[in-house]
């Protein structure tokens, strides 16, 4: 835990110190990808045995397994999944990307067509927790976009099955192609294909540092959603904020893993001191005490600003994945927030409301990438193609300009393509 007063340049030094070294991870992932490309299912089975301690004859999750999973998930949670589906679907339907077309005065047709990506894979992590919410958040926008083939992969457990809540969430959404594979080896199998797994066009979904590095290395062979870093939350709090709420919300992201990064930005010494007290109390009471202690002790950065204007400036520099506005009249400053993945406004909009329920996507840009990127959405699952049908009248009228442009760039064959039609 570190408390600093904001001054120009102090945050840049902090971010530099946080930059991870990944040479060893890079080397390991390169080897895994190479082996999967060369040996396909054989290497995939070997890595599943090595990393997940499970021997599998087949990676496919059968419909029978999905049906059996309902026995392990109580009816109330199934009802909750269905309601969350409605909320998330309602929000994402408003993101549909529209085609357009217009005509010139000389009857040329110019336009844009929108085409869904054909085959998309969703990676769902295993390990420290189960993430049926990520199934909803990644599958629903792909379905609304019109993706025909949606594949889900997730690591197997010791019983050679996948998490029951993940299986039920996928089944409720109608996902039929599910594989019990995880790690960098799963990303490689999806990117290059194996004997039993057909390659995809895009891979989305969160994962650990090996999954993230694998996504980085296969980018170009396939598309990916983003290179995600550790989870982040920034709470912007003035003197009116409730320090209990602040502490709870900082911990809500810190429990993801030891590398999660919480921030508190405030202009109040009283808020800082009271929040620290509640953090200590809540951590000692928590079922995830070890993870919380590591995240808070090593990564929590408390930044004391002079006033609200400076608080907002700090927030825009950090460009957090999740930003909470626990300040007086928060809607008045919404326009000043330039860089954030998702913004939670007021004391009754804590980050978990967005993680599970309200509708906006919880797959968000991290590591300051909210400066130039956006949450996952319907637009991530479509391609836009422009089209041009020039009339002879438009061609004749504009040919000279196009030809001159080409010659200016010394691209003579571009110019000749135009000249040939003017002869």
* Amino acid 128: pLDDT: 62
Q: Which residues contact 22 (CB under 8 A, 6 or more apart)?
A: 209, 213
Mean pLDDT throughout 384-390?
97
At residue 11, the pLDDT reads 78
Whether the predicted pLDDT of 131 surpasses 70: yes
Which residue is associated with the tokens 């709870």? 248
Where residue 14 falls among pLDDT bands split at 50, 70, 90?
confident
Determine the pLDDT at residue 301.
Answer: 95
- The domains found in the chain, sorted by start residue, are 23-224 (3.40.50.1980), 229-371 (3.40.50.1980), 391-422 (no CATH)
What DSSP element (H or E) covers 150?
strand 149-153
Q: What is the dihedral of CA 325, 328, 333, 338, to 10 degrees?
A: -20
Sheet of 2-5, strand order? 2-5, 301-304, 261-266, 232-237, 322-326, 342-345
Query: Please, which pLDDT band fits residue 2 given cuts at 50, 70 and 90?
Result: confident
Binning pLDDT at 50, 70 and 90, where does residue 364 land?
Answer: very high
Confidence class for position 91, pLDDT limits 50, 70, 90: very high
What's the average model confidence in pLDDT over 51-77?
A: 95
Tokens representing residue 12 in the block: 């840049």
Residue 19 has pLDDT above 70, yes or no: no
Q: Per-residue pLDDT for 21 more than 60? A: no
Residues 252-284: tens digit of each pLDDT: 999 988 989 999 999 999 999 999 999 999 999
pLDDT at 12 over 80: no
- Determine the pLDDT at residue 72: 95
pLDDT at residue 300 in the model:
96
pLDDT digits (tens, 9 = 90+) for 25-59: 999 999 999 999 999 999 999 999 999 999 999 99
3-state secondary structure of 115: strand
CB 406 within 8 A of CB 418: yes
Tokens 């299912």 -> residue: 41
Confidence band for 22, pLDDT divided at 50, 70 and 90:
confident
Name the catalytic one among 232, 321, 324, 347. Answer: 321
- Residue 16 has a pLDDT of 53
Confidence tier at 15 by pLDDT (50, 70, 90): low
Mean pLDDT of the chain: 94
**3-class state of residue 153 by DSSP:** strand
Report field, pTM of the whole predicted structure over 0.85: yes
Residue among 277, 211, 290 at smallest CA distance from 248: 277
Going by pLDDT thresholds of 50, 70 and 90, the confidence category of residue 20 is: low
The mean per-residue pLDDT over the stretch 188-200 comes to 97
Each residue's pLDDT tens digit, 238-257: 999 999 999 999 999 999 88
**pLDDT tens-digit map of 306-318:** 999 999 999 999 9
| Model pLDDT, residue 169 | 98
Tokens of 30: 């390169």
- 303 - beta bridge partners? 4, 265
Q: For position 18, what pLDDT does the model report? A: 54
Angle at 359 between CA 353 and CA 360, to 5 degrees: 90
For residue 127, pLDDT beyond 70 = no
Q: How many CB atoms lie within 10 A of CB 413?
A: 7
105, 296, 331 from 232: Cα distances, Å: 52, 12, 22
DSSP string spanning 236-258?
EE-TTS-HHHHHHHHHHHHTS-T
The CA R_g of the chain, rounded to the nearest whole Å, is 25
Is 322 labeled as catalytic in the residue annotation?
yes
Per the residue annotation, which of 213, 232, 255, 322 is the catalytic one? 322
* Paired residues of 110 in beta bridges: 102, 388
Mark whether 195 is an active-site residue: no
């Amino acid at each position: 835990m570190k408390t600093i007063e904001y001054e120009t340049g102090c945050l840049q030094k902090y971010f530099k110190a946080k930059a991870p070294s990944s040479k060893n991870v890079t080397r390991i992932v390169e080897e895994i990808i190479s082996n999967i490309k060369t040996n396909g299912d054989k290497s995939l089975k070997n890595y599943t045995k090595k990393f997940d301690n499970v021997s599998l004859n087949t990676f496919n999750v059968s419909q029978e397994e999905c049906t059996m999973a309902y026995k392990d998930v109580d009816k109330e949670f199934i009802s909750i999944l269905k309601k969350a589906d409605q909320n998330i679907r309602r929000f994402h339907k408003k993101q549909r990307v529209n085609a357009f077309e217009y005509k010139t005065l000389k009857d040329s047709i110019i336009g844009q067509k929108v085409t869904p990506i054909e085959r998309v894979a969703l990676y769902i992590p295993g390990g420290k927790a189960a993430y049926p919410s990520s199934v909803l958040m990644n599958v629903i926008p792909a379905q609304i976009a019109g993706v025909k083939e949606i594949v889900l992969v997730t690591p197997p457990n010791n019983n050679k099955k996948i998490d029951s809540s993940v299986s039920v969430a996928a089944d409720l959404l109608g996902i039929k192609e599910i594989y019990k594979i995880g790690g960098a080896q799963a990303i490689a199998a999806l990117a290059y294909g194996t004997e039993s797994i057909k390659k995809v066009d895009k891979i989305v979904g969160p994962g650990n540092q090996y999954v993230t590095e694998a996504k980085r290395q296969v980018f170009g062979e396939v598309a990916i959603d983003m290179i995600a870093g550790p989870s982040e939350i920034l709470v912007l709090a003035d003197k009116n904020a409730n320090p209990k709420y602040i502490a709870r919300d900082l911990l809500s992201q810190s429990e993801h893993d030891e590398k999660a990064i919480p921030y508190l930005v405030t202009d109040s010494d009283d808020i800082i001191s009271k929040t620290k007290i509640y953090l200590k109390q809540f951590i000692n009471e928590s079922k995830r005490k070890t993870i919380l202690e590591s995240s808070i002790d090593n990564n929590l950065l408390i930044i004391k600003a002079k006033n609200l204007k400076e608080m907002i400036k700090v927030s825009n520099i950090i460009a957090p994945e999740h930003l909470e506005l626990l300040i007086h009249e928060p809607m008045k400053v919404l326009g000043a927030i330039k860089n954030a993945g998702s913004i939670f406004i007021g004391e009754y909009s804590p980050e978990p409301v967005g993680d599970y329920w309200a509708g906006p996507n919880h797959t968000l840009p991290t590591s300051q990438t909210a400066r130039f990127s956006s949450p996952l959405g319907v637009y991530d699952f479509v391609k836009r193609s422009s089209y041009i049908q020039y009339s002879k009248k438009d061609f004749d009228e504009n040919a000279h300009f196009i030809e001159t442009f080409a010659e200016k760039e010394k691209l003579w064959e571009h110019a000749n393509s135009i000249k040939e039609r003017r002869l």
